[in-house]
Chains A and B, each alone.
Chain A
Amino acid sequence: MSAKFSYQRAVSIKDAAEATGRPGTRILAGGTDLLGCLRDGVFQTNRLVSINNIKELKGIRSRPGGGWRIGALTTLTEVAEHRQILESYPVLAQAAASVATPQLRNQGTLGGNLCQRPRCWYFRGQFQCRRKGGETCFAEAGQSLYHGIFGASQCYIVHPSDTAPALVALDAKVSIAGRRGTRLVPMSSFFVLPKDSLVKENVLEPGELITEILLDAPLTGTRSTYRKVRERASFDFALASAAVVLVMAEGKVRTARIVLGGVAPAPWRSTEAEKAVVGKPLDAAAVAAAAEAAVKGAVPMADNGYKVPLVRGILEETLTALSA
């Protein structure tokens, strides 16, 4: 750790944006990922800016004209237990409830959950990998049990967030504040793949922070669910997950958004799977076709071939459940 280190409490969003613009600065929200990264030497910082005193970043509020806004500092527990979220966006409530452990959900924030760094054990461990500025991806010839089957190039991380696939499936928007004002980015454009950047996982620039997540009011006939498969029942990231949001009309699927987690460097939207169900009744044939379509183009590594049948299985289960 650097000998020179400072800690600052931002008093406003503007203040936070100013402060985080300086090199070597990191934003401290819940800290559940940041402090681990600093302790493990994944990256270093000489300046922490806490945003925990900025009231505007907290809480869940309804939007005029329908829909909800969730402040970036809202804890995962609040998201998981909020009555309107549970009713209108089960996919998000379920995703938030599936994160880590009760303690981590009480401390961790929604904004932080979207900005957490990958869990790749080479990235987190004492390996100078490409994402840390090194020359090698150790997973290529190493242990790839938890790595990706989609969207990789030179780096095979999977995006670790549970709420991210849910928010992409809900077509949410993320409000980003910076020194030059705010911008609104669709959740589906928020994350970046290794082909665009090997060192960051989202579009945030220095001096920018997420202020809130915007959700539109759900259309009539919307059904949604989040399913996560992990090696143990708690305190574990997804081997693979699926966030599914369907709008049903007259017994058929009108629109579908199917987003996979744990299989790619960003939440992985499967338009192929969506196409397989849109305009059709959600019967066994459509479910099977969607499950099969979702794994087309998968490129398994040495140890993660199981993720192909796993994705298939998860989609069979979730789509069948939503058809009822």
Chain B
Amino acid sequence: MPRIDGYERVSGTAVFPLDVILPNMLYGAILRCPHAHATVKAVDTAKAREMPGVHAVLTDADPEAQIGWFSRPGSAGSGSPALSRLFDPHCRFEGEEVAAVAADSPQQAWDAVRAIRVEYEVLPFVSDMEAALKPGAPDVQEGGNRMGNPRETKRGDVEKGFAEADVVLEETYRTSCDIHTCVEAHGSVVQWDGDRLTVWDTNQGPFPIQAALAGALRMPLSKVRVISSYMGGGFGSKLNLGKYSVIAALMARKAARPVKLFLTREETFLAVGNRPAHIMKLKAGVKKDGTLTALQLTGVGEMGAYPAATAVGYQVGDLYKCPNVRIEETMAYINAGPNRAFRAPGFPQCSWALEQMMDALAEKIGMDPVDLRLKNISTVCQMDNNKPYTSTGLRECLSEGARAFNWKESRSRPKGEGPWVRGVGVAGGMWGSQNGPPATVIVKLYADGSANLNMGAADLGTGTKTVMAMIVAEELGVPMDRIQVENADTGNTQFTSQSGGSKTVYVDSPAVRAAALEVKSSLLDMAAAQLKVPAADLNFKDGEILAETGTQRLALRDLRQLQMQQAVVGVAVRGPVQSDKVVRPFVTHFAEVEVNTRTGEVRVVRMLAAHDSGRVMNLLTYRNQVFGGFIMGLGLATMERRILDPVTGKMANANWHDYKIPTAKDVPAQMTVLPIDLHDTECNTTGTKGIGEPAMIPSAAAIANAFYHATGVRITAAPITPSQVLTLLAERKTKG
């Protein structure tokens, strides 16, 4: 099913927050700390204030800027102390906000920002998580660079498990810090109308932004309207309120003019989140027959300068059946931008370690990597008291995926004489789906049989609006082109939480179905009254009311009550999700790579993704999600990494050229999506489990395993770049 807003998106008529231009609007720009760690001693804005076109300058000296900032903005009032403030003089990372300007043009705003004189006291910094945890490292936060106590998860007795194993392997795996690089940069357009604030903001759901903004500005919720009906990508980095929105609102009030404040591409590399780098020491025990006996993970994550923990251990404890598990995780502060949720937080990192380890174990015991995984499938959630899953498609993902990928044959095909060698790899995965608070949805059927779907959820480009409209079409028989969707506007849609955690369809679609059913039921009640038959004997189909007996028909135009009130409205709140079972999407990715042993070039030439995400709602957008996820995983595996200069702590590659994401030419020529369309009747009323994040969880690991198969060299640190490949191949040559 084509996207319901495909024309708007392709033709450019869709208005994204970045497109919004208001009469008399000013442009904002933020002065950011250029040092990895510094204290602001003095800010002189005298010259900037005199510059042409400047209408507002905001610094820490302004009383209204004394706004506390929290690790999850919006948790203000929860009792936890603020971590910093809007323009905190203690800048703990390169890119922290120091001052801001609003001017008639963006150029004038930037000229004025550059004219602000700041006196910094540059402080010692630490930009490496291992160095940060050593004694004597500069403190990023008071009380040291270790966030709280290590998180520990234990099951069984790992020492006993290792003793029972025939093979025990231990390896340290590393992933890099990666940046979201959303196509639409972060930012807002704000407008005051008396005491009412309207904000066009690019985010993953306007309601938490509304709440956080109201909290920061001490305003009633009713006076803050946030609109994000279109947005250009978030991947987790746009779940929370950004300082830029608050800064824009304060400057707009100061200047009595609307303000547009969007970050530059370079700013988005520094200050709006990342997937933190991880070091994962993994020890695993397996019996000769492939039974896992113990898994032990010791993980350290690089948090950035403020608390934002990302745990990586979940799949170690849950993906494969294993009686003895120990997971210990630590997060370290460093002087760099804090991490944020990034497409399946923690899971691609974990897969990078766990799935490469599974590959190594399989080789050691002489077992096929697919078979080793099939041997250890669990039907219960070991991380949640062995509650059963509503459905477990991992077995089908592995076996049907292997068949469709032609795994056995591909695995035994000659690898080539060189310089190009080839190999194939596999990796499994799961996603820890999340619940959300209940969503409220309104469905309206008009007198002419067309319908309006009113929902709070943001569509991140994933096709949410289309999928939800399809549910209305399914229940009410209204053609797709007669359904209009209003969404993601706190002013005229109802509460739902952010689109994140692959939960939007999973959590919100049952409410859409329920609202549509309510419309149907009201309609039948009206018809029953008119026809004087019991409502239970009536059905609504193809725009007509039919009696069970088939003798009576009633077109909507003849339904008197409907024609009088012009619309029937159904309102539904999603009911509680059952808790005696656990909902988890499963996935297996297969990849084929070619490696040039002379030049270190790596090409991913073929991939297949088998997914159990419950019912496939819309194959078109489902496949797009998987392609996008795999390509993002390809970036993690082969090219993406934040590089911090060791001498200054500044980011060396804070731009879209030096920070490399895959281009169309890096995408494999052959990409196949294989939905394992299991009927899960228990997860919710639409049978859906979520696809957005599972789509990238095992991709990088599958590529790494294919690389190993091709070369016999295990790359434990992402990304697999020519520089690393050549270095490791040369090492192998000298070591023999």
Interface residues of A (CB under 8 A from B): 1, 3, 101, 119, 121-122, 124-127, 138, 141-143, 145, 229, 231-236, 239, 303-306, 309-310, 312-314, 316-317
- List chain A residues, Cβ under 8 A from B639: 231-232
Check if B598 is an interface residue, CB within 8 A of chain A: yes
Residues from chain B with a CB closer than 8 A to the CB of A141 are 646-647
| A39 vs chain B, min Cβ distance (A) | 9
Given contacts A143-B643, A232-B662, A236-B660, contact A121 B722 (CB under 8 A): no
Structural contact, B599 and A138, CB atoms closer than 8 A: no
Q: How many angstroms between the C-alpha atoms of A318 and B639 in the bound complex?
A: 25
Q: Are B598 and A317 in contact (CB under 8 A)?
A: yes
Question: 0/1 per residue, B647-664, Cβ < 8 Å to A?
Answer: 110101111011010111
Render B89-114 as a binary contact track against A, CB cut-off 8 A, 1 for contact: 00000000000000000010001000
B residues within 8 A CB of A239? Answer: 722-723
Q: Which residue of B lies closest to A2 (CB)?
A: B111
**Contacts known (A121-B658, A142-B652); A232 close to B663, Cβ less than 8 A:** yes
Is B629 part of the binding interface, using a Cβ–Cβ cutoff of 8 Å? Answer: no
Q: Which residues of B contact A119 (CB under 8 A)?
A: 657-658
Whether the Cβ atoms of B599 and A313 lie closer than 8 Å is: yes
Inter-chain contacts of B599 with A (CB < 8 A):
229, 310, 313-314, 317
Which A residues touch B643, using CB under 8 A?
143, 145
0/1 per residue, B662-704, Cβ < 8 Å to A?
Answer: 1111100000000000000000000000000000000000000
Q: How far is the CB of A322 from chain B (nearest CB, A)?
A: 15
CA distance A318 to B716 in the complex (A): 31
Is B727 a contact of A235 with CB atoms below 8 Å?
no
The 21 sampled A-B contact pairs (Cβ below 8 Å) are A121-B653, A125-B650, A145-B723, A229-B600, A229-B722, A231-B639, A233-B663, A234-B666, A236-B660, A303-B723, A306-B600, A306-B726, A309-B729, A309-B730, A310-B599, A310-B722, A310-B726, A313-B596, A313-B598, A313-B726, A316-B419
Q: Which residues of A contact B723 (CB under 8 A)?
A: 145, 239, 303-304, 306
Say yes or no: A126 contacts B600, CB within 8 Å: no
Chain B residues positioned under 8 Å from A142 (CB to CB): 645-648, 652
Q: In the complex, are the beta carbons of A316 and B111 less than 8 A apart?
A: no
User: Does B84 sit within 8 A of A, measured CB to CB?
Assistant: no
Interface bits B708-736 vs A (CB < 8 Å: 1, else 0) = 00000000000001111011011000000
Residues of B in contact (CB 8 Å), total 38
Chain B stretch 599-637: residues in CB contact (< 8 A) with chain A: 599-601, 603
Question: How close is A117's CB to chain B, nearest CB, in angstroms?
Answer: 13
Residue of B645, B664, B724 near A143 (CB, 8 A) is B645
**Cβ contact within 8 Å between B598 and A316:** yes
**Contact present for B657 and A235 (CB under 8 Å):** yes
Give chain B residues whose Cβ lies under 8 Å from the Cβ of A235. 657, 663
* Chain A residues whose C-beta falls within 8 Å of the C-beta of B660 in the assembled complex: 231-232, 236
Residue of chain A at shortest CB distance from B653: A121
Residues of A within 8 A of B664 (CB): 234
Cβ contact within 8 Å between B652 and A121? yes
A126 x B598 contact (CB < 8 A)? no
Cβ–Cβ < 8 Å partners of B34 in chain A? 126
Contacts of B652 in A (CB 8 A): 121-122, 125, 142-143
Q: Which residues of B contact A124 (CB under 8 A)?
A: 655, 658
Chain B neighbourhood of A305, CB < 8 A: 727
Contacting B648 at CB < 8 Å: which of A127, A306, A312? A127
* B-side contacts of A145, CB under 8 Å: 643, 723
Q: Which residues of A contact B730 (CB under 8 A)?
A: 306, 309
A145 to B723 alpha-carbon distance, docked (Å): 8
Write the nearest CB–CB distance from A130 to chain B, whole angstroms: 14
Q: Which 5 A-B pairs have the closest CB atoms?
A: A313-B598, A233-B665, A306-B723, A306-B726, A234-B663
Q: A231-B721, A306-B723, A317-B419 are in contact. Are A138 and B665 (CB under 8 A)?
A: no
The minimal Cβ–Cβ distance linking A238 to chain B, given in whole angstroms, is: 11
Q: How far is the CB of B654 from chain A (nearest CB, A)?
A: 7
C-alpha spacing A142/B727, complex, angstroms: 19
Residues of A within 8 A of B657 (CB): 119, 235
Q: Provide the bound-state CA to CA distance between A113 and B212, in Å.
A: 49
| Cα(A304)–Cα(B730), bound, Å | 13
Interface residues in B566-606 by Cβ distance below 8 A to A read: 596-601, 603
Query: Quick check: B598 and A234 within 8 Å, CB to CB?
Result: no
The CA of A127 and the CA of B36, in the complex, are separated in Å by 13
- Check B666 against A233 for contact (C-beta < 8 Å): yes
Q: Are B648 and A1 in contact (CB under 8 A)?
A: no
List 8 additional contacts besides A142-B648, A306-B726; criterion CB under 8 Å.
A119-B658, A126-B34, A233-B666, A306-B724, A306-B730, A309-B730, A312-B598, A313-B598
Q: Please name all residues of chain B whose beta carbon is closer than 8 Å to the beta carbon of A1 when the two chains form the complex.
A: 107, 111
Give, as a whole number of angstroms, the nearest-CB distance from A310 to chain B.
6
**Closest CB in chain B relative to A312 CB, distance in Å:** 8
Complex Cα gap A313–B726 (Å) = 10
Complex Cα–Cα for A303 and B646 (A)? 12
Complex CA distance for A3 and B112, rounded to whole angstroms: 11
Interface centre among B655, B662, B663, B723 (most CB of A within 10 A): B723
Contact residues in B for A236 (Cβ distance below 8 Å): 660
Proximity bits, B205-221, A CB within 8 Å = 1, else 0: 00000000000000000
Cβ B419 vs Cβ A313 within 8 A: yes
With A231-B660, A306-B600, A317-B598 given, is the CB distance from A143 to B666 under 8 Å? no
Task: Name B719's closest neighbour in chain A (CB-CB).
Answer: A231
Tell me the complex Cα distance, A125–B721, Å: 23
Chain A residue at minimal CB-CB distance from B728: A306
Give CA–CA (A303, B600) in the complex, Å: 15
Closest A residue to B667 by beta carbon equals A233
Give chain B nearest CB distance to A208 CB in angstroms: 29
Q: How far is the CB of A131 from chain B (nearest CB, A)?
A: 16
- B662: chain A residues within 8 A (beta carbon): 232
Q: Chain B residues near A121: list those with CB within 8 A.
A: 652-653, 658
Give chain A residues whose Cβ lies under 8 Å from the Cβ of B107.
1
Q: Which residues of B contact A306 (CB under 8 A)?
A: 600, 722-724, 726-727, 730
A305 closest partner in B (C-beta): B727
Considering the chains assembled together, what is the distance between the CA atoms of A145 and B107 in angstroms?
34
Residue of B nearest to A136 (CB): B647
CB-based contact A314/B598 at 8 Å:
yes
Question: Given the complex, which residues of B lie within 8 Å of A101, measured CB to CB?
Answer: 663
B726 touches A125 (CB 8 A): no
The smallest beta-carbon distance between A2 and chain B, in angstroms, is 10
A138 to B652, CA, bound (A): 10
Instruction: Give the distance in Å from the alpha carbon of A125 to the alpha carbon of B648 in the complex.
Output: 12
Residue of B nearest to A312 (CB): B598
Interface residues of B in 22-48 (CB under 8 A from A): 34
Query: Who on chain B is nearest to A228 by CB?
Result: B599
Nearest residue, chain A, Cβ from B645? A142
Find out whether the CB atom of A125 lies under 8 angstroms from the CB atom of B654.
yes
A300 to chain B minimum Cβ distance, whole angstroms, is 11
Which of B597, B650, B727 is close to A126, meaning CB atoms less than 8 Å apart? B650
Nearest to A316 among chain B residues (CB) is B598
Residue-wise, chain B 527-562 has the 8 Å CB interface mask toward A (1 for contact) of 000000000000000000000000000000000000
State A3–B653 Cα separation when bound (angstroms): 29
User: Complex: how many Å from CA A313 to CA B597?
Assistant: 8
Closest A residue to B596 using CB positions: A313
